[in-house]
A and B are shown apart, each in its own frame.
Chain A
Amino acid sequence: MQALTTRSKVAVNKKMTFVERLYIPAILGGLRITLNHFFKKKVTISYPEEKREFAPVFRGQHVLKRDENGAERCTACGLCAVACPAEAITMVAAERKPGEENLYREEKYASVYEINMLRCIFCGLCEEACPKEAIFLTDRMVDTDYVRNNFIYGKDKLVEPMDKDKRIDVSKRETTETREFKTHPGYAHNKLYTKSLK
């Protein structure tokens, strides 16, 4: 049978020699090891001052994106809610009134869009399902709170600010590869989408 580890040792019940029974050489060896560690570089990250960088694939709090003109991209199609395995997303659709073209990109929009952050498992399937590039998971953490109700994030917390300087950066996740993945005719989930293009 193959050994599970390369570092296994056969136990030998030999009698210890006199020097070994003195223990002093062993203790000195131990002291040397601890002293070495004393001068080693510390692994601690002093949190509030120093922050560990998130991985590029980190999935945190969601954002609902606006387009270049500041209109919401979301059309309340509900694909994200269908895709959501935790059933954390609910929305109410509404029709765009004349004069609201600068607020909503298409004729239909979500008047209510809520994500329950306690239910959400941050899998990113909503982002994958979204055909309008409207929802993204960002590298922000969801804030803590004392009340469960406060974890149901509405549009006030999810939609990014209108101001161009305050937009949330999702360039790490909204890449040409992801775009191509979404529109690629070879994938089953794109069948409907590509059909609609024709």
Chain B
Amino acid sequence: MSISLFIIYKVVLVVVVFLISLFIAMYSTYAERKVAAFMQDRLGPNRAGPFGILQPVADGVKMFMKEEIIPQVSNKFLFILGPSIAMFTSCITGAVVPWGTSLHIGGHEFALQVTDINIGILYVMAITSIGVYGIMIGGWASNNKYSLLGALRASSQMISYEIAMGLAIIALVMTTGTLSLKGIAAQQTGWHWNVFYQPLGFLIFLICAFAETNRTPFDLPESDSELIGGYHTEYSSMKLGFYLFAEYINMFISSAIMSTLYFGGYNMPFIGRLGLSPNLAAILGIVFLFAKIFFFIFFFMWVRWTVPRFRFDQLMNLGWKILIPLSIFNVAITGFFILLLHK
């Protein structure tokens, strides 16, 4: 593959992944409202276009047309930096997710992954850690007590749950033996999904994913009813839109990561027996991965409209006194089994 072709292929892939993330995040807002409505025996948005499918467009236009307000007492640079970081970090995580195997076109192999770095999981963890700064800086720069409280809650929550998440991943890495997401996805052919080897690890990871994306029952940073929106109280127009949008992209990406780490990623059981051409199998793999992702996005919403929000002390108790010991126990038991099976 020549260098120019390589660059074109990577740029195209990056743009496509970026656009798909944005598109899915956009329609997640619509799906959220529809799911919420259906679970409350309502119809939800149904005015803009058939079944209201143009609603996200209308919402986007509304966001852009709103007046841009930057409080005079705020730190202007940091005020703008906050949502930018939130948006940036949620977008770049998609770079390491393997969306499929690879397509073979004209004798060239095009891997359906922007970059396969051998520390893919660490990269994901690092980026989610930076994501805290977006919220923290935004909340602090607003110079508003509600924003600051929201930001404090957000940072303490995300830091607490990152530990349990990291420990859950350590147990996973012990069984897979690789940090590369592509390697982990490739191992889970057929029914060898990691969730069957790491059920407890998956549960911990799932709970932490909810906490990391600030979704209910862990939406204390926002908690509309008590913090007036939390860290984004002072934000308006598209800066607010960026924060809300970043949350939906995070939800999409964390669904993708969960599918890849625990649910076989693009692997389908029985696909090998059908005898399809590699290209068709790769495309079906993408479809199957997205089916898993959509299920998880639905699950995020499903839980949101079922489980009420935690109290802050309950949140901290769950994080520090239950999930962290549990994940350490999980690491220990995983080690025990590895020792037992490989002797």
On A, residues with C-beta under 8 Å from B are 27, 30-31, 33-35, 37-38, 40-44, 46
Contacts and interface: CB of A to CB of B under 8 A. Distances in A.
Interface string B14-53: 0000000000000000000001001111110010000000
- Residue among A27, A42, A43 having the largest count of chain B Cβ atoms under 10 Å: A42
B302 A37 contact: no
A40 B41 contact: yes
Given A27-B306, A30-B306, A30-B307, A37 B40 contact: yes
15 contacts: A27-B306, A27-B307, A30-B307, A31-B306, A34-B39, A34-B302, A38-B38, A41-B41, A42-B43, A43-B42, A44-B41, A44-B42, A44-B43, A46-B43, A46-B46
Nearest to A41: B41
Contacts of B40: 37
B283 to A, nearest CB: 30
Contact of B41 (A27, A35, A37): A37
A40 B46 CA distance: 18
B40 to A, nearest CB: 7
A41 B41 CA distance: 7
A150 to B, nearest CB: 29
B291 interface: no
Nearest to A36: B39
Nearest to A37: B39
A14 to B, nearest CB: 20
B303 A42 contact: no
Contacts of A43: 41-42
Contact of A42 (B38, B302, B306): B38
Given A27-B307, A33-B306, A42-B41, 6 more contacts: A27-B303, A31-B302, A31-B306, A34-B39, A38-B35, A42-B38
Interface of B: 35, 38-43, 46, 302-303, 305-307
B318 to A, nearest CB: 10
B216 to A, nearest CB: 12
Contacts of B305: 34
A27 B302 CA distance: 11
Given A27-B307, A30-B307, A35 B302 contact: yes
A31 B46 contact: no
Contacts of B41: 37, 40-44
A43 B40 CA distance: 10
A40 B43 CA distance: 11
Contacts of B39: 34-35, 37-38
A21 to B, nearest CB: 10
Nearest to A43: B41
Nearest to B35: A38
A37 B38 contact: yes
Contacts of A44: 41-43
A50 to B, nearest CB: 11
Contacts of A40: 41
